[in-house]
Amino acid sequence: MEQTKLHSSFSHPTSTVRYNAPVLEGNSTFSISITSPSSSCVNGFAYSFSINLSYHGNKNQSNQVIVDIKLLSGYTVDYQSLAKLHDDVLKAEQINNHLIVYIEPVSRDPVSMSVTLDISERVQDLQPQYVHVYDYYDRGDLSSTPFTEANRRTAHCTQVVPLFGKRNNIRKNTSCQHSGVPLMQLLIKCIN
């Protein structure tokens, strides 16, 4: 709750209420697909995925488009990936566990972008998040698709994890088998 002072003896309280409203499925203005090739695993700590979108509204093309990707818990956008994304789009920024991407108007021809996510902390039983795509000037033109851990699963992934350092925060992970412990490294072979 905020309290704003109007005059010396009066105040005007304001409050904001936010709801976690479910995303409605149905007719969409944009079509969205998320793909992650099996070769997208980078040393077990990062993976790449592509977002493809196209416009299917009443006009020939949309206005400027915003893609809002709510990141899965424990993931951050790779810095180099974010820098590369800046070359392909109007603007890209990571704010409060969201990747916000501003794109030129989209037509019926598909537009693709690739993003690499780094695992900053292992989290089990991840809840799905959503990718929201909407027209900057007409928020009614909104489409959403779920973004889940299944989008990142790869066939085989070998991780080399330093024993000492930031990335050794692996918690319970039943899909990995410990195969050897050199002095400074722990080799984990993931079989998904």
- Sign of torsion over alpha carbons 191, 37, 98, 86: positive
Identify the CATH assignment for 30-152 out of 3.40.1080.20, 2.60.40.690, 3.90.1710.10, 2.60.200.20: 2.60.40.690
- Sign of torsion over alpha carbons 46, 93, 37, 127: positive
Per-residue pLDDT of the chain (192 residues; tens, 9 = 90+): 455 555 566 666 777 776 655 555 555 788 888 887 665 565 556 778 888 999 988 889 999 999 999 988 888 888 888 888 888 899 999 998 899 999 999 999 999 998 888 888 877 777 888 899 999 998 788 888 887 655 554 333 434 333 333 443 433 333 333 333 332 233 333 333
For residue 42, the 8-state DSSP code is E
Domain ranges of the chain: 30-152
Distance CA 172, CA 63 (A): 45
Task: Check residue 39 and give its pLDDT.
Answer: 59
